[in-house]
Amino acid sequence: MPDIGFVNGRFMPLREAMVPVEDRGFQFGDGVYEVIRTYCGAPFQLEAHLARLERSARAIELPLSFTSQEWARYVVEGIRIGGYAESKVYIQLTRGVAPREHQFPASVRPTTVMTVREMHSVDARLRTQGVGVLTMEDLRWGRCDIKSVNLLANVMARQRAHLAGAFEAVFVRGGEVTEGAVSNVMVVMQGALVTEPEGERILSGVTRDVALTLARKEGVAVQERPIGLDELRGADEMFLTGTTVEILPVVRVDDAVVGSGKPGDITKMLYDRFQRSLGS
Ligand code: PDD
């Protein structure tokens, strides 16, 4: 089965899916997106992802072509047509196709794109050994809570991290750690789980929310407050959360080792509970 594309309500093989050059997503990055993965073939936290898609669209005054119920049906249908053991679904909405002018076009149909590809989990070795991250100044705009398709700063950051041999870029704003280029950041200090609070400096991660709920259920104290860069370097444990990384231990920040240099106990416990909550 080929990878699946979906443009404005119609499914097709991905290689046949096209968007015109004048699409505002291409011209301006004027759009929003979501990434959803499956476990055991079922979309994970679909309602939460679709609710965030609605919030992102509303924040940029983008009318939605489909309701969340319609999206849910399309997502499930795309996964079924793809036929993969596990799928990764991208939904991208842009302000549509119009001659290039910054202001919104008067009346134009938003472009609606979905792709379905096979989902490959993070290499098991990275999960057991932990990964390294590279910290850098957060050069993104002031509304990181909107899941905008305009990802240039994230792309540049992740490339820098990649060239330095690190798995993820971790952003620092005003001396405080915000999040990763594709993930949220959590640390364990004196037994408490600490992470940047929801707000305009981070994306409200769906996996972040799942991890915090699991931590609270296990009696781990949760502090949603900014993390100083100096604190990060002295943390006992650190991990990333996200749809693609799940709960991924971090054992190196720049040139410094985190905690014992091995995935921490609370991190491992949370990953275990996360897996168990999926029924796998
Ligand atoms: N990224 N922060 C940023 C900047 C992200 O791009 C993501 C997700 C997250 C984690 O959010 P969630 O747990 O809802 O996936 C945090 C997706 C996977 C991507 O862009 O591919």
Contact 251, 239 (CB under 8 A): no
pLDDT digits (tens, 9 = 90+) for 163-218: 999 999 999 999 999 999 999 999 999 999 999 999 999 999 999 999 999 999 99
Structure tokens at 33: 């997106």
CA gap 259, 189 in Å, rounded: 10
Q: Which CATH number fits domain 4-118: 1.10.287.990, 3.20.10.10, 3.30.470.10, 3.30.70.141?
A: 3.30.470.10
Whether 280 has a pLDDT exceeding 60, the answer reads no
Atom number, ligand 1, closest to the C-alpha of residue 181 = 4
Residue that has been written with the tokens 């994306």 in this structure: 203
Intervals of CATH 3.30.470.10 along the chain? 4-118
Mean per-residue pLDDT for 243-255?
Answer: 98
Q: What is the DSSP letter of 130?
A: -
Question: What tens digit of pLDDT does each residue of 5-47 get?
Answer: 999 999 999 999 999 999 999 999 999 999 999 999 999 999 9
Q: Is 168 in the pocket of ligand 1 (CB under 6 A)?
A: no
Is the CB of residue 133 less than 8 Å from the CB of residue 180?
yes
Tens digit of each residue's pLDDT (9 = 90 or more) over 138-152? 999 999 999 999 999
User: Does the beta carbon of 245 lie inside 6 Å of ligand 1?
Assistant: no
Predicted confidence (pLDDT) per residue in 57-109, tens digit: 999 999 999 999 999 999 999 999 999 999 999 999 999 999 999 999 998 89
Pick from 38, 203, 210, 240 the residue to mutate for probing ligand 1's pocket: most ligand atoms within 8 Å of its CB: 203
Instruction: Give the CATH fold of the 124-278 domain.
Output: D-amino Acid Aminotransferase; Chain A, domain 2 (3.20.10)
Question: What order of strands is seen across the sheet that includes strand 4-7?
Answer: 10-13, 4-7, 111-118, 87-94, 31-39, 42-43
* Average pLDDT of the chain, as a whole number: 97
**What integer pLDDT is reported at residue 271 of this predicted model?**
98
- Active site residue: 88, 147, 217, 262, which one? 147
| Euclidean distance between CA atoms 45 and 264, whole angstroms | 26
CA-nearest residue, atom 11 of ligand 1: 205
**What pLDDT is recorded for position 233?**
85
Assess whether 217 carries a catalytic annotation. Answer: no
Q: What is the pLDDT confidence band of residue 1, given thresholds at 50, 70 and 90?
A: low
Greatest CA span in the chain, whole angstroms?
A: 58
User: 37: left (phi > 0), else alpha (psi -120 to 50), else beta?
Assistant: beta
Instruction: Please tell me the residue having the least CA distance from ligand 1 atom 5.
Output: 182
Residues 6+ away with beta carbon under 8 Å from 215: 193, 222, 266, 270
Distance CA 87, CA 243 (A): 12
The segment(s) of the chain belonging to CATH 3.20.10.10 are: 124-278
pLDDT attached to residue 92: 98
C-beta 242 within 6 A of ligand 1: yes
pLDDT at res. 269: 98
**N-term to C-term CA, the chain:** 25
> Which region, left, alpha or beta, applies to residue 238 given φ > 0 means left and ψ of -120 to 50 means alpha?
beta
pTM for the predicted model, two decimal places? 0.97
